[in-house]
């Protein structure tokens, strides 16, 4: 258990009977959940962690073969819950971690009561009838820029992803998060994230879920939310007024209100 806790810098906050596990997205760390933590720590047991390569995780635990697909990250989530003997947890994931949650719930459904997706995408690439948000050529160019100039890539992409350009401090926080992530690991995780196609997993999911979809998001357009609602059994779609890809940072009050309503069955 100690190895798992240290590897992923696991922290437990609160004493509630119901557990919530928060899974951050690419280029971030558990700190992005701070607004939600402040609200839910009085009623829930909160489990926070960093994926290997992010935050205060153990960089020595990174294995390029293990983390060459989302399966390696999924395994880590399940190992954390197993080590803590957690069942029927609420899972709140952002971006790529939404599909990690889908995979985890398919593998071990008893570990989860509900899944909450913040800005999810089962596939980021446009494909015939499917609108994922990115053309293959655009993605190829982004990954090449990342390889050639990671800091420049971070400074260019982060504000675009965050949206809310009238609030530059939000984009600056995301740039800082990107730059605090190990660049070599980040490059591999980016490829795993943006080249993954998890559309076939959605039909296997038996756990009820909520999708929080921003009204404008360059990485996950509205069509993605409707697709997920259609394909995932028991999925509820909530379109937020918030814009950008990180509403838990840019519009935490709206995100918290939507999550609380869903949890309480309102």
pLDDT in tens, 206-217: 999 999 999 998
Q: What is the pLDDT of residues 20-55, one digit of tens each?
A: 999 999 888 999 999 999 999 999 999 999 999 999
Q: Is 166 a catalytic residue?
A: no
Q: Is 95 a catalytic residue?
A: yes
C-alpha torsion angle, residues 52, 57, 63, 68 (rounded to 10): 10
Contacts of 244 by beta carbon, 8 Å cutoff, 6+ apart: 161, 162, 163, 164, 170, 214, 216, 217, 250
**Which residue of the set 97, 209, 217, 250 is catalytic?**
217
**Domains parsed from the chain with CATH numbers:** 2-263 (3.40.50.1820)
Predicted confidence at residue 106, as pLDDT, reads 98
Predicted confidence at residue 152, as pLDDT, reads 76
Q: Three-state SS for 40?
A: helix
DSSP string, 176-235: HHHHHS-HHHHHHHHHHHHH-B-HHHHTT--S-EEEEEEEE-SSS-HHHHHHHHHHSTTE
Q: What is the pLDDT of residues 111-141, one digit of tens each?
A: 999 999 999 999 999 988 899 988 999 888 8
Q: What is the pLDDT of residues 63-77, one digit of tens each?
A: 999 999 999 999 999
For the chain, give the mean pLDDT.
Answer: 91
- CB-CB neighbours of 264 under 10 Å: 7
**Which residue of the set 19, 29, 57, 95 is catalytic?**
95
Residue 2 has pLDDT above 70, yes or no: no
Predicted confidence at residue 89, as pLDDT, reads 97
For tokens 């954390």, the residue is 80
CA separation for the pair 124, 132 (Å, rounded)? 4
Residue 167 has pLDDT above 90, yes or no: no
């Amino acid at each position: 258990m100690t190895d798992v806790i240290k590897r992923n810098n696991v922290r437990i906050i609160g004493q509630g009977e119901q557990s919530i596990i928060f899974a951050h997205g690419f280029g971030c760390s558990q700190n992005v959940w701070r607004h939600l933590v402040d609200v839910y720590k009085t009623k829930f047991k909160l489990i926070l962690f960093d994926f290997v390569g992010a935050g205060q995780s153990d960089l020595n635990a990174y294995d390029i073969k293990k983390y060459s697909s989302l399966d390696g990250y999924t395994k880590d989530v399940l190992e954390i819950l197993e080590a803590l003997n957690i069942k029927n947890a609420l899972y709140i994931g952002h971006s790529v971690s939404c599909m990690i949650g889908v995979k985890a719930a398919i593998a071990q459904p008893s570990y989860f009561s509900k899944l909450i997706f913040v800005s999810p995408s089962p596939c980021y690439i446009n494909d015939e009838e499917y609108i994922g948000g990115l053309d293959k050529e655009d993605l190829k160019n982004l990954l090449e820029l990342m390889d050639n100039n990671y800091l420049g890539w971070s400074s260019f992409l982060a504000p675009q992803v965050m949206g809310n350009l009238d609030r530059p401090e939000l984009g600056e926080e995301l740039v800082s998060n990107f730059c605090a992530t190990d660049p070599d690991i980040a490059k591999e995780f980016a490829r795993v994230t943006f080249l993954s196609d998890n559309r076939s997993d959605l039909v296997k999911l038996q756990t009820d879920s909520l999708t929080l979809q921003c009204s404008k998001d360059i990485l996950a357009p509205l069509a993605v939310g409707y697709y997920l609602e259609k394909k995932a059994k028991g999925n509820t779609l909530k379109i937020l007024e918030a814009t950008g890809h990180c509403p838990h940072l840019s519009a935490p009050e709206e995100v918290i209100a939507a999550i609380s309503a869903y949890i309480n069955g309102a």
